[in-house]
Chains A and B, each alone.
Chain A
Amino acid sequence: MAQIRVENLRKSFDQFTAVEGSNFTIDDGTFFAMLGPSGCGKTTTLRMIAGLELPTEGKILLDGKDVTFDRASARDIAFVFQLFALYPHMNVAGNIGFPLKCQGMGRREIRQRVEETARLLRIEHLLSSKTSKLSGGDRQRVALGRAMVRRPKAFLMDEPLGALDAEFRHLMCGELRDLHDRIGATTIYVTHDQLEAMSMADQIAVMNKGRVEQISSPQEIYDRPASMFVADFIGSPPMNFLRFEGGLHCGDRAISFHDTDIIVPEIREDRASAPLVLGVRPEHIRFTDAAPVRGEVFGAEYLGTTQIVTVDTAHGRVAARLPSAMPVRVGETVGLEFHSERLALFDAGSGLAIRTANGGGVRHG
């Protein structure tokens, strides 16, 4: 098992910089998700760690050993692509044992390792089945088994669940995390799906345009996003952004938002008057007749337990998550009250969070 460390890692392709100066350490046994939109540099970073791509600058350390220029095969890392690529002419045991056979390992030892792997994945009963007869989930387990059987120091996974439909994907997330808890191998998991990252990871690195915007636990990233990009990328519907202009003083407990005062977590930095953004998560909004921020209900989306009510205000469209039992009429005027302690503030120019009692001012990467 292994610690993975990345120092000043940079990669350019001609004019284009795919990854700019990443720094992070993934502790032994961590499930680490790299999350971001396509083109953010997450796959390139993963491929450099795997040895499939050489960095333009920087270092990669595996358990303290510099492996930056080692070949992929010398790194003792298993790379899992889309989990469905199996050899159709071999049975399950043949598929799982294949990497060991390539290494020239003896038959008895292969059998032992394959059985042990199958036990971990709970697919012992399938070892002599044809892969073409398997369900989607079992095919994935077999593909995973093929990566595990070598007992690598770390697993690198690139959107392994991307091809599955949403409900099954969430089920597999639970299974992958359970598996991780059983074998405890350091895992780097690349995805553009925030739900997958939130569901499985111990730590999430949110990437944007080749940079790591924030590295934290899922709950921390959700509660205290370091930037508007992170706040927008995590959460569904995402955080609402309400723009205003104003100055801030250390120790302030309210902001002047378009001539009304809104209570916010205590401000921890001074700011000259500038365009700012108030960030409000949908579940931190309530309808109150007396609230000064008002708008007209545009739509209500029933979701079973809750409903998402969209309100058009003078400051943009706002989504609120409310109990589904609450009656809401399209077109009615409502007042929006915010859960003060959970509000976030951002600099509209840089998009970075402003330091308050509720966080902000955290930077990584």
Chain B
Amino acid sequence: MADVILRNISKRFGAIEAVRELSLAVNDGDFLVLLGPSGAGKTTTLRLITGLEQPDSGSVMINGRDVTLDPPGSRDIAFVFQQYSLYPHLTVYDNLAFPLRSPARRVPEPVIRKRVEQTAELLHIASKLNNRATRLSGGEMQRVAIGRALVRDPSIYLMDEPLSSLDAKLRAELRLELKRIQLELGATVLYVTHDQVEAMTMATRIGVIRDGRLLQIGTPREIYENPTDSYVASRLGTPQINLLPARVLSEIALPAGTETVGVRTEHLQLAARNGGPLVGRVHRVEHLGEQNHVHLDYKGQMLVTLADPREALQAGQEIELHLMHPLYFDGAGQRIPAATH
């Protein structure tokens, strides 16, 4: 295992700047997740690391060695794609053994057997080794695809939305499995996704990426609790953070330059009217089982907050709002530190 460093990488496709001056270090044992919408430059970044694309400028270092101009085959990387592409005519065993049987590697068959069996054990597919790859469920196929990367012992595993073609239940299961395997192996992983839940639940660190730029990098908790700009704040958390224009909050003191105030749903608290300055009206109460989402109208702005399902709230009711831990952003969306209290 090893670390991967990107220095000021840029890549342009015609008029489109896919990746702009991106610098990033994936440390040994890191599970780094690049989170961003489609077109943000996530997949291009992965392809630049593999050598499937060449950067226009900047360098890629793997294990302290500059590999920017090396061909993909010599980079010691394993890649897991979104679509599991298994060899349908081979058994699970042969699919897993395939990367080790490459003529360039010359791994002796007993060693292959050992690696394949260990990997199958790790992925809980040991009982399926003799099955044809096509006779597996979707989740099992994706495990085999991940397993094919794991049988090798590369410097880094690159994963491009490997769970996105699975249904919700399977995705939740494999999230846990993947995290467990990464911890057990101490593997270094760079994983890209547009799914914030995958990022929050698996990452040791998240890099939020947009328009080819890395906006913020940190632990899930840092990114969630301490976003540096309003886009990052809105990228994490369901329901999304409430973003209010400062002009509707003239009743309360805001730091100079504040244009937008962000309040996470769990920090927007409701109380019966009691002379407080912020009064909203309940628009709709959404019952989602373990909690209610209360949609509020505050001076024409739609806000969402969480409430206990047993709390009696009626559409049309007037209610007092209290903002806990508000986040302040300037006109460019940059975070303004709160005044010291």
Which A74-103 residues have a C-beta within 8 angstroms of B?
none
- Please tell me if B69 contacts chain A, counting CB pairs below 8 Å: no
Question: How far, in angstroms, from A170 to B304 measured CA to CA in the complex?
Answer: 12
Count chain A residues whose beta carbon lies closer than 8 angstroms to a beta carbon of B. 36
For B201, list chain A residues within 8 Å (CB): 301-303, 308
Question: How far, in angstroms, from A310 to B195 measured CA to CA in the complex?
Answer: 20
Interface residue stretch chosen among A109-117, A153-161, A216-224: A216-224
| Contact between A303 and B197, CB atoms less than 8 A apart | yes
Contact-size category for B: 35 or more
For A236, list chain B residues within 8 Å (CB): 168, 172
Instruction: Tell which of B169, B264, B287, B289 has the most Cβ of chain A within 10 Å.
Output: B289
For A235, list chain B residues within 8 Å (CB): 289-290
- Please tell me if B322 contacts chain A, counting CB pairs below 8 Å: no
| Contact between B200 and A198, CB atoms less than 8 A apart | no
| Contact between A302 and B200, CB atoms less than 8 A apart | yes
Question: How far, in angstroms, from A298 to B169 measured CA to CA in the complex?
Answer: 17
B266 partner, pick from A166, A198, A302, A305, beta carbons under 8 A: A305
Which A172-189 residues have a C-beta within 8 angstroms of B?
174, 177-178, 181
For A298, list chain B residues within 8 Å (CB): 176, 180
Q: Interface readout for B235-249 with A: 1 if CB under 8 Å, 0 if not? A: 011111000000000
- Please tell me if B295 contacts chain A, counting CB pairs below 8 Å: yes
- Please tell me if B20 contacts chain A, counting CB pairs below 8 Å: no
| Contact between A219 and B289, CB atoms less than 8 A apart | yes
| Contact between B287 and A283, CB atoms less than 8 A apart | no
| Contact between B175 and A304, CB atoms less than 8 A apart | no
| Contact between A198 and B288, CB atoms less than 8 A apart | yes
B203–chain A nearest beta-carbon distance, Å: 9
A304 partner, pick from B172, B200, B290, B293, beta carbons under 8 A: B200
B interface list, Cβ under 8 A from A: 168-169, 172, 175-176, 179-180, 183, 194-195, 197, 200-202, 220-221, 224, 236-240, 264-266, 284, 286-290, 293, 295, 306, 309
27 contacts between A and B (CB under 8 A): A165-B194, A174-B284, A177-B284, A178-B284, A195-B288, A198-B287, A198-B288, A218-B287, A218-B288, A222-B288, A222-B290, A222-B309, A234-B289, A235-B290, A236-B168, A236-B172, A282-B290, A302-B201, A304-B200, A304-B224, A304-B237, A304-B238, A304-B266, A305-B237, A305-B264, A308-B201, A310-B176
